[in-house]
Amino acid sequence: MSVLEVNNLRKGFGDTEVLKGISFSLEKGQVLAIIGSSGGGKSTLLRCLNFLESPDEGEIWVDGKQLLSDSEEEVRQNRLHFGLVFQNFNLFPQYSVLENITLAPTLLKRSSPEEIRKRAMGLLEQVGLTQKADAYPYQLSGGQQQRVAIARALALNPQILCFDEPTSALDPELTGEVLRVIRGLKNGGNTMIVVTHEMEFARSVADRVIFMADGVIEEMGTPEQVFDDPQSEKTRVFLRGAQEKF
Amino acid sequence: MFIPVTMELLGGFWESIKVFVLTLVFSIPLGLVVCFGSMSKWQPFRRLSDTRLHALSKWMPLRLVTRTFVWIIRGTPLMLQLIIIFYGPGLMFDLPSMGRFTATIVAFAINYACYFSEIYRGGIESIPQGQYEAGQVLGMTKSQIFFKVVLLQVFKRILAPMSNEIITLVKDTSLARIIGIYEIIWAGEQFIKKGLIWPLFYTGAFYLIFSGALTILFGKLEKKLSYFRG
Ligand SMILES: Nc1ncnc2c1ncn2[C@@H]1O[C@H](COP(=O)(O)OP(=O)(O)OP(=O)(O)O)[C@@H](O)[C@H]1O
Ligand SMILES: [Mg+2]
């Protein structure tokens, strides 16, 4: 059974429809890459999944449970099925790296302080930043900050971890370290949705690829299907454009 | 002459300090209330958005009233406000006088609350949306986000403008003489009748020492918060 099922998700801002009925599903342990040109609605989709925007219509099922709700408290609980890593990290500047990771689990009283701390140190090891546990965000490079943000999201054990262009704010030489961490998470069996402009990365890490344009899923399939044998003209034009850039 | 002058000025300065401290005690929290009012998004006619009266639906009365009030208070002299608050209730509504000192504190507290509220608002609005969203995504409640994520960052950002405003308050306390508070400059002026000018310079020394101490205090606070950026 799919861990995630999205049915006919719609979202508009004022008069503009940004998501025009998005439906897809994702198996446990799979990685879904979402590609598409600017303004196609990729961020809006991730923000809906994390309840930063409330969809106008549609359903979000995780493990057979419908998550959309009108109650603020239910939304707060339900969004914990998902984690979100932002393009510009959004670490909390006044907390050390370790505190950034332990803050939410501590507030949610997930386990004892020692347990939370131990787990946070484990996550820091996983992203290769044990040395930086006591540093503050401003003391880190962009790539290091993003790796902390990933550890922070993982600390709550989300069933599905979402990334919104996790390397777009980074200098080119720093993208590799972040992509390596994401790849490592896939090998660890994490279910993930990655919005990215890194086509090579999408091809190599994803089990499924979605191409979004103008608020609809234009093309969906395995990386081979989408990248090597696209059915839609829009996809072909987009991929050609993406190739020329590199 | 030095000892009696000092005693007289100390008496006046004690009044100034009382005005200073009580104004801060009331205006710092009151400023937060005013700030929330001026940021309020309350739209009582929101439901009308799909009707012909849709222009009303965006109306935010609490915000409008608060911002107008802040505009009036910040746009007119504190001296005028002092006089109106002291004499106004009696002349306009036949109310018994609240007393010089109470009137002074009321006028100062309202005036400074309005200035503080704008500083708070600037601080709160300068925090990037991403900080709130990061907190939300991590399952924090609204109040957890405010107290655990946003507050200290706001505090750091408003420290410099607050210290400016508070040092201005030290000197503004002298305005209270207009409704008969015997503060330090008035005390110093008494000696002009006796042909002495130096007591007035001497009052300046009191102000300098006090604002100097405040500057050092704020500098220490700023240093304490320099362990992070943002
Ligand atoms: N809060 C909002 N209010 C109004 N319009 C919005 C809002 N958020 C997004 N939009 C609009 O929705 C459309 C889709 O935006 P979105 O950010 O989801 O695109 P995207 O696919 O993530 O693009 P990019 O690759 O540039 O990040 C854009 O036209 C954008 O202007
Ligand atoms: Mg985007």
Per-residue pLDDT tens for A194-218?
A: 999 999 999 999 999 999 999 999 9
Q: How far apart are CA A56 and CA A12, in angstroms?
A: 7
CA of A92 to the centre of ligand 1 (A): 25
Domain ranges of chain B: 2-224
Q: How far apart are CA A229 and CA A232, in angstroms?
A: 9
List residues in chain B touching A: CB distance below 8 A. Answer: 128, 130-131, 133-134, 136-141, 144, 148-149, 152-153, 156, 227-230
- Which ligand 1 atom lies nearest to the CA of residue A42? 21
Per-residue pLDDT tens for A43-59?
A: 999 999 999 999 999 99
What does the pLDDT read at residue A192?
96
What does the pLDDT read at residue B48?
80
pLDDT at A245 over 80: no
Classify B229 as helix, strand or coil: coil
Q: How far apart are CA B215 and CA B156, in angstroms?
A: 16
Comparing CB atoms, the residue among A83, A94, A107 nearest residue B228 is A94
Q: How far apart are CA B157 and CA B99, in angstroms?
A: 38
Q: How far apart are CA A88 and CA A102, in angstroms?
A: 20
Question: Among A171, A96, A85, which Cα is nearest to A132's?
Answer: A96
pLDDT at A67 over 90: no
Q: How far apart are CA A142 and CA A155, in angstroms?
A: 20
pLDDT at B33 over 60: yes
* Residues contacting ligand 1 via CB (< 6 Å): A 13, 18, 36, 38-44
Q: Cβ atoms within 10 A of the Cβ of A204, count?
A: 12
Going from the N-terminus, what domains does chain A have, and what CATH number goes with each?
A: 1-81+159-246 (3.40.50.300), 86-157 (no CATH)
Per-residue pLDDT tens for B12-28?
A: 999 999 999 999 999 99
Question: Among A149, A146, A241, which Cα is nearest to B134's?
Answer: A149
Mean pLDDT value of segment B202-230: 95
ipTM entry: 0.93
Mean pLDDT value of segment A86-103: 96
Banded pLDDT at A246 (limits 50, 70, 90): low
| Ligand index nearest the alpha carbon of residue A238 | 1
Task: Please name the residue whose Cα sits nearest to atom 17 of ligand 1.
Answer: A43
Banded pLDDT at B57 (limits 50, 70, 90): confident
The length of chain B in residues reads: 230
- The answer to whether B229 contacts A93, with C-beta atoms less than 8 Å apart, is yes
Of the candidate CATH numbers 3.30.43.10, 1.10.3720.10, 1.10.1200.10, 1.10.340.30, the domain formed by B2-224 belongs to: 1.10.3720.10
Mean pLDDT value of segment B141-145: 94
Per-residue pLDDT tens for A130-187?
A: 999 999 999 999 999 999 999 999 999 999 999 999 999 999 889 999 999 999 999 9
Per-residue pLDDT tens for B65-96?
A: 999 999 999 999 999 999 999 999 888 888 88
At residue B207, φ and ψ (nearest 5 deg) are -60, -45
Residues 6 or more apart in contact with residue A103 via CB below 8 angstroms: A92, A95, B138, B148
pTM of the model: 0.89
- The answer to whether A79 contacts B149, with C-beta atoms less than 8 Å apart, is no
CA of A59 to the centre of ligand 1 (A): 21
How close does chain B come to A103, measured CA to CA in Å? 9
